[in-house]
Amino acid sequence: MTKKQTNPDQLITGILAGIEDVKGQNINILDLREIENTVCDYFIVCEGTSNTQVNAIVNSVQKRVSKDLKDKPWHIEGLDNSEWVLIDYVNVVVHVFQKHIREYYDIESLWGDAKTTVIETNY
């Protein structure tokens, strides 16, 4: 059975709205489409200030995407400790970090060839 494909632009818009609803910070979109052998088309990377905020971001993203697009993640990992939670929507993968874990793994530099868009927030 295959998962239905939601329009990536609509999905990204919904994910960003979910992150911003609970004041997720330092949001970056990495466009991986021009890089060979990637597992998806986009990474969205953001951070929360605590386990509680990371969980709030994950829940907000899921609720927003479910409500607006009638879609749900194919897979979620990391909810047990909420330091790095990965939400997999197949073509778009969301990484929600706590700041120190994001700095340690520095996935943006691992994907340095990706076109990166920084999302400005007003909070």
Nearest one of 68, 72, 41 to 58, comparing CA atoms:
72
pLDDT at 2 over 60: no
Tell me if 63 is assigned to some domain. yes
Tell me if 1 is assigned to some domain. no
Tell me if 109 is assigned to some domain. yes
pLDDT of amino acid 5? 66
Tell me if 119 is assigned to some domain. no
pLDDT in tens, 15-65: 999 999 999 999 999 999 999 999 999 999 999 999 999 999 999 999 999
Is the overall model pTM greater than 0.85, yes or no? Answer: yes
pLDDT of amino acid 1? 40
Instruction: Supply the range of the domain harboring residue 79.
Output: 8-114
Tell me if 54 is assigned to some domain. yes
Q: What are phi and psi of 47, to 5 degrees?
A: -140, 155
The domain total for the chain is 1
CATH number at residue 68: 3.30.460.10
Cite the DSSP H helix spans in the chain.
8-21, 51-69, 99-105, 107-110
Tell me if 35 is assigned to some domain. yes
